[in-house]
Amino acid sequence: MKIGELARKTGLTPSTIRFYEEQGLLSPVSRTAAGYREYSNYAMERLHVIQVSKRLGFSLDVIRGMFGANGQCLKTEILERTETRLREVEEQQETLASQQRELLALRAILLDESISRPFCAEPAVN
């Protein structure tokens, strides 16, 4: 399939597909006699893996490392990267949960009319 069809099927732009190819994320493709890039269904699957990996927060360098020299996915590498990313997400969730608790506590204090706060007054109305 040509790059336009691949772009429509993946939701990517042709320039993004060419960029991934230049960056080594997508294997070089064959060319037609007229010089058009010719992609296989394998390219569509590979682009799907790249898109999902990017949405999950993996950098292009990390994604590149998920594929072997022959272009095949490296299951062990992907599992290791996934475990690392899961730990990072869990840490972020803990941080966000802590911040949420602190924000709720601050809001409750500020809304409590029984507490005098001369250092934290409403702005004067003109």
Q: Is residue 124 part of a domain?
A: no
pLDDT score at 125: 72
CB 63 within 8 A of CB 20: no
Query: Same domain, yes or no, for 4 and 54?
Result: yes
Kindly state whether residues 1 and 39 are assigned to the same domain. Answer: yes
Are 53 and 94 contained in the same domain?
no
How does the average pLDDT of the chain come out, rounded?
88
Residues 8 and 54 in one domain: yes
CATH number for the domain spanning 5: value is 1.10.1660.10
Query: What does the pLDDT average to over 63-79?
Result: 83
In a domain, residue 46? The reply is yes
Catalogue the E-assigned strands of 1-126: 30-31, 37-38
Whole-structure pTM value? 0.70
Distance CA 88, CA 90 (A): 5
Domain span at residue 21 reads: 1-59
Contacts of 117 (CB under 8 A, 6+ apart): 110
Same domain, yes or no: 53 and 79: no
* pLDDT tops 90 at residue 14: yes
Tens-digit pLDDT profile for residues 18-43: 999 998 888 767 888 888 888 888 88
pLDDT on residue 84:
93
Q: How many domains does the chain have?
A: 2
Residues 17 and 53 in one domain: yes
Spatial CB neighbours of 24, under 8 Å, sequence gap ≥ 6: 64
